[in-house]
Amino acid sequence: MWLASEAPERVERLVLCCSSASFDPDAYRARPVREHGVAEVAGAALERWFTPEFRRSHPDVLEWAGQMLRETPPEGYAACCEAISGADLAGRLGGIRVPTLVIAGAEDPAAPPGRSESIRDSVPDARLEVLSPAAHLANVERPEAMTGAILDHLQAVVREET
């Protein structure tokens, strides 16, 4: 969002997946991660990332994601929490001048669909695709649907060039 509004000549089309123009201050997660490691927040993160049904029916994916989290360097994870804590790009959305696809997970507690609707309503020429069931990692829960939506959106660039 920042790049598309700050350097529009560098962006032809934009896809925003399970995102938000603003994030609640959540730097509070940085301290426990620095003190105890990423394992301290991994369980809660996995609950935000995947719907309950997906967690029950895909234990292999849950194990993969959990391992990835636990192996993340604590300082890197904590710094990311601090970097997005309180971020607010809402004022830049009207400056985005490229066709934009916003994809949301219907059950995403980290970036709820209402935030995606706000992006869609603020960005000229934006459209919203809500995937259900899907939480924050909709690309993992619904890979075919997400990939299809992205390819459809980007295919227009290929058609314009030919």
pLDDT tens digits, the chain, 162 residues: what are they? 999 999 999 999 999 999 999 987 665 688 899 999 999 999 999 999 999 999 999 999 999 999 999 999 999 999 998 888 878 999 999 999 999 999 999 999 999 999 999 999 999 999 999 999 999 999 999 999 999 999 999 997 665 665
The CB density around residue 76, as the number of other CB atoms within 10 Å, is 11
Select from 49, 83, 117 the last residue of a domain.
Answer: 83
Q: Are residues 69 and 115 in the same domain?
A: no
C-alpha to C-alpha distance for 74 and 136, rounded to whole angstroms: 21
List the domain range (segments joined by +) for residue 43: 27-83
The CB density around residue 31, as the number of other CB atoms within 10 Å, is 12
Instruction: Count the domains in the chain.
Output: 2
Q: Are residues 78 and 102 in the same domain?
A: no
Q: Are residues 119 and 94 in the same domain?
A: yes
Q: Are residues 47 and 105 in the same domain?
A: no
C-alpha to C-alpha distance for 161 and 149, rounded to whole angstroms: 20
- Which pTM was predicted? 0.90
